[in-house]
Amino acid sequence: MFFMPLLTTNKLESFYGDFQALFGIDFEIQQGEIVAMIGANGAGKSTFLKTVCGLLKAGLDAIVFDGEPIGGVAPGKIVQRGIAMVPEGRRLFPSLSVEENLLMGAYAKRTGPWNLDAVYTLFPILKERHRSPATALSGGQQQMAAIGRALMSNPKLLICDEISLGLAPIVVKEIYDALPRICSDGMTAIIVEQDVGVAQKVSSRLYCLQEGKVTLAGSSKDVTREQISKAYFGV
Ligand SMILES: Nc1ncnc2c1ncn2[C@@H]1O[C@H](COP(=O)(O)OP(=O)(O)O)[C@@H](O)[C@H]1O
Ligand SMILES: [Mg+2]
């Protein structure tokens, strides 16, 4: 059987004006995999995710998704093709209710298992609070709403940028406990995570970035602490 990764990047570079943030990132993820991306602040993790989602320019062939080159394709078109991001800082629409925020995620009109009912089954607290303004939710609940909004587009690939940031450990656990349910239908996920222990636990493979380059790629359970700290800090 021909085996094709769901997403590959080939020597991917990314820039903010004249400033180069990514230097030749080779990355791949198979359908159904959960891959973590770790690295210090400023390593380029969010830049990588934003470039994959079309928010930053890339060469057409530097990103291949589901067999098609998508580098530099507009963000709205990328959502329609099946990539959804939970951005750093959640970015909910503050003037909208929880339910309205979730419905905003469905604008791409992709079909699949995710709809309001499925999101409310995954995170029952969102059903209880569906009429509340997004700003009235706790940090953990806001994160659940941001994840739910991304799922509403029925993506093939879910990308999560630091979903545990600023949340208490018990809330982080609650959110990551939902991940196997999210992925049970064959969903694929890239998880950017500052907490290396959490990243190793939830993923099958991980990549470490440092100063815009991949410094480690391997099986999450096999990489050693020494390999990780070397890849993280370059010491
Ligand atoms: N909007 C921006 N404009 C200019 N430089 C940026 C911008 N966002 C990030 N950078 C720079 O790009 C590099 C990578 O940042 P980022 O991808 O946010 O790192 P991470 O998510 O790993 O913390 C850093 O040097 C950061 O200062
Ligand atoms: Mg970041």
What is the reported pLDDT for 235? 62
State pTM to two decimals. 0.95
Between the CA of 109 and the centroid of ligand 2 the distance, in Å, is 28
Please indicate whether residue 113, judged by its CB atom, sits closer than 6 Å to ligand 1. Answer: no
Please indicate whether residue 47, judged by its CB atom, sits closer than 6 Å to ligand 1. Answer: yes
**pLDDT tens digits for range 3-25:** 689 999 999 999 999 999 999 99
pLDDT (mean) for 49-55: 97
Surrounding ion ligand 2 within 5 Å at CB are 45-46
Q: Is the pLDDT of residue 193 over 70?
A: yes
What is the reported pLDDT for 233? 85
**pLDDT tens digits for range 98-119:** 999 999 999 887 899 999 999 9
Q: Is the pLDDT of residue 1 over 70?
A: no
From 16, 55, 191, 210, mutation site for ligand 1 pocket: most ligand atoms within 8 A of C-beta:
16
Domains assigned to the chain: 7-233 (3.40.50.300)
- For the chain, give the secondary structure using H, E and C: CCCCCCEEEEEEEEEECCEEEEEEEEEEECCCCEEEEECCCCCCHHHHHHHHCCCCCCCHHHEEECCEECCCCCHHHHHHHCEEEECCCCCCCCCCEHHHHHHHHHHHCCCCCCCHHHHHHHCHHHHHCCCCEHHHCCHHHHHHHHHHHHHCCCCCEEEEECCCCCCCHHHHHHHHHCHHHHHCCCCEEEEECCCHHHHHHHCCEEEEEECCEEEEEEECCCCCHHHHHHHHHCC
Which band of pLDDT confidence, cut at 50, 70 and 90, is reported for residue 220? very high
Q: Is the pLDDT of residue 2 over 60?
A: no
**pLDDT tens digits for range 70-80:** 999 999 999 99
From 46, 191, 192, 210, mutation site for ligand 1 pocket: most ligand atoms within 8 A of C-beta:
46
**pLDDT tens digits for range 117-157:** 999 999 999 999 999 999 999 999 999 999 999 999 999 99
Average pLDDT, the chain: 94
Name the percent of the chain lying above pLDDT 70. Answer: 98
